[in-house]
Structure 1
Amino acid sequence: MVNYYSIEAPLIHEIEIKKSRFLTYLIPIESEADFQEELAAIRKEHYKATHHCQAFILGDDSMIQRMSDDGEPAGTAGVPMLEVLKQENLTYVMAVVVRYFGGVKLGSGGLIRAYSNAVSEALKEATIIKNINQMMVNVELRYDQMDSFTYYMSQTELPITLKDTVYTDTVTFNLAINLEAVTEVHDELTNRFSGQLSWTELGEQTVNLPVR
């Protein structure tokens, strides 16, 4: 079960519309304090900009939602920015669109399209992640079993993610496995290696996995 969707890392994307520059900042955050800190840094960097329009969503259930037009006509910036984030089902994320006015007025409809497109285009470059509960498992094998394990990982359709590999006198693969698939993965690997492996369940963790 997916707890929520968010973005993996901060990014900046720029578009130009009728001589106005729109710089979009997408940043993963955990709290309103994070939002305020990031916004202050953006305002400081772009102190000459005309507007610093904002939207953010917080909470596993996306219940905390805020936005600001920052001087643009009411409803033409913050709302469309927030709607784009909501359409992608994202949370724990903030968007700030910095506008440098180019001298051509866009009108209310033009502004709504501009701010919406600014965030949409930025999201196309973002790595979307899903936060899910997984069982962390260490599978320890001999070196001569590596190829067989690698082949299994390339072929299986079960929800397994290889998080880390440790090489000592044996090879230990650290896996994140969807909770409902743990027993099936255990049985498949036990059969594949005729029981000649070490399987250690480390406990349940929330893990961020890339969606796209």
Structure 2
Amino acid sequence: MSYSLLLFDYDGTLCDTRAAIKYSLRRTFQEFGYSKPVEPALRAVVQQGLPLAATLLGLHPAGTGPLPATWTETYRRIYRAEAEQLVRPFPGAQQVLAAAVALGCTVVVISNKGLAILENSLARLGLREYAALVLGDDPTATAPLPLKPDPALFTQRIQPRFPQFTSSSTLMIGDTATDLQFAQNCGIAACWASYGFGHAAECAAFKPVHRISSLTELLPLLTQ
């Protein structure tokens, strides 16, 4: 199968953001006067790849109601000002994106992360130039962005932008069950980045078409 539209997840697929995410979550709880989440809880919630609001709520005691928007705003402020510098691209990230573009593929980066943080991070790491489109959560947008695993992210935001590509020529590359469920919901092939953050058993249950243990293993899929 030849793929020409590549949808890359950011956290855990292109970039190792674990240290930045955990730092920001601990600091957010600290700032609101709560005990810092412990490592097992942090690891479990990062493995899921959920939207930020759900991640924060998941770390609260059972039965906690919806959190005020100030929680997500505070997390993003801390992440942007203090934690983003901890982010590192996975080995081969720039090489793979450059090779994909050179082969004529169109690259889209999609994430449940805030769009401003996502754009700034990709630019700082020298990866933004390879992406034809970057999609992330933008609280200032008139119409909220559907977040993974909602297939509306694909049908309403990606397909209209790139109508020349079919579902069969589209590949989702991601590391969590959320990414793989998104691909399944969209009816597109999935490549599981098993080196990332996802829980192995949960990801394997989605039976992704491809599995890679490093980013550079993606290259042969693009030249088949």
Q: TM-score when scaled to structure 2?
A: 0.25
Q: Which has the higher helix share?
A: 2
| Max Rg structure | 1
The structure whose RCO (Cα within 8 Å, separation 6+) is larger is 2
Q: TM-score when scaled to structure 1?
A: 0.26
